[in-house]
Structure 1
Amino acid sequence: MRAVPDTFDPHVVSLIDARLAQIEVDHGVRVLWAIESGSRAWGFASPDSDYDCRFLYVRPREAYLDLWPGRDVIETPLEGLLDVNGWDLAKAVRLAVAGNATVAEWLRSPWIYRGEQEFRDALLELVGDVADRARLRRHYLHVGRDQWSLAGDGDGVRLKKVFYAVRPALTLTWLDAHTGVPPMDVDSLLDQVELTQDVRAEIDELRALKAVTRELGTASVPPHLAAWVAEVLGAVEDEIDAAPSEVRTRANEGFLSLLGRWAPA
């Protein structure tokens, strides 16, 4: 699979392609899913936004039997607007069970540098099966609250942080109305949630402003949007218990199935 918009810088895309290929050679892994994350995929990029490539990979099966396993992340140097990092499949599954929503978001990114659709579909089904909605809600509540508190107030609010709070608020609204794995991007979320006309109009207004404002640009937050975000992020957190053993069993079985199908020889 590949889905890269014309708005992406072709030179940067070629650098990402080359870096992913080199990662496979240097680390002896297979990159199965590589996407754009961050503001470009979320739908509110600034003119100087980074390219945040994130990927999922698998090692040879024998590597998972090592008594002293290596790191379960691969990080590459930051160069200009280029930011390329990835997670091992095992880490991705463990985090999904723990309620981390990042894996599901990567699997639902609208922009794909390279990827195996069968792998994506199988892992997305597994994530949907083992992810606990209360944990997902807590994840988005914490992300939204943290970013909202960092945004500031008055006329000097950081637009980047505002949108980093708006997207979790939209996702929480989506979770209240739908089952399954929520979309990653703002456009899909807006299409699938109910908002007042005032809030939707103010989101559109700020998106248009951010599209022509540098990454650290500031502005005031429109009143209806501010009140809506505060209300959504003010929700009471759900009580969370440890993941049941049957969930961990299903996660382990799903991981082994994916490993058997996709691990490099």
Structure 2
Amino acid sequence: MLLASIVDPAKVSRHYLGLARSHIMRVGSFGAQVKLKKLFYLIRPLVALDWMEQHGFAKLPPMSLPECLSQMDVPVDTGLAIRDLIDRKSRTREMGTGPIPGAIARYLEARYGHHEMNMRRVANDVARRARDRANAEAFYRKEVEAGFR
């Protein structure tokens, strides 16, 4: 699969950290009142980062939050609270506003701090970038040519 061969999980992890950082700036604090539906914009990148860490930053996490949670270790109370939010979201479009549930707030604060302090620097691997670009261009050419047959 092309994507798995050209995407650098280390760079994706930095992207997830940036997403978490921007949502934390919007929320203000982990004790704040939030739109509960939008809380997923903070939960997802931190769960993804933990999944990647637990899998050695060797591959990309599943896109599905429940699938991600099922493939990683997370505190029991946190997992239950996140699954409860997922269940509530599946039953209603609007979840209202409220405080971040305690187990989730503790998890988010701890894991955000952990990843901020321990995120690896991404090396500027010119050879890898050139190889990835060549692979992507070859794939694109093959797909375009197949469309003309």
TM-score interval (norm. to shorter): 0.7 to 0.9
Unaligned runs of 5+ residues in structure 1 are 1-120
1:163 to 18, 21, 40: 40
The equivalent residue for 1:225 is 104
1:262 to 107, 121, 143: 143
SS state at 1:219 partner: strand
Note the C-alpha offset of 1:175.
Answer: 0.9
Stretch deviating more after TM superposition (213-222 or 228-237): 213-222
The equivalent residue for 2:77 is 198
Note the C-alpha offset of 1:241.
Answer: 3.7
Structure 2 distance, partners of 1:155, 1:167, is 18
- State the 4+ residue runs in structure 1 displaced beyond 6 angstroms: none
Note the C-alpha offset of 1:152.
Answer: 5.3
| Alpha-carbon contact 1:151-1:161 (below 8 Å) kept | no
The equivalent residue for 1:126 is 5
Greater helix percent: which structure? 2
The structure having more radius of gyration, on CA atoms, is 1
Give TM-score, length-normalised by structure 1.
0.48
Alignment size in residue pairs: 140
Stretch deviating more after TM superposition (140-149 or 169-178): 140-149
Q: Which amino acid aligns with 1:158?
A: K
Considering Cα pairs closer than 8 Å and 6+ residues apart, tell me whether 1 or 2 has the greater RCO.
Answer: 2
Task: Say if 2:53 is the partner of 1:176.
Answer: yes
Unaligned runs of 5+ residues in structure 2 are none
Identity %: 28
Note the C-alpha offset of 1:177.
Answer: 1.4
Greater strand percent: which structure? 1
| Pairing of 1:206-225 with structure 2 (within 5 A) | 206-215=85-94, 217-225=96-104
Q: Which amino acid aligns with 2:61?
A: P
| Alpha-carbon contact 1:144-1:168 (below 8 Å) kept | yes
Note the C-alpha offset of 1:251.
Answer: 1.1
Root-mean-square deviation (Å): 2.1
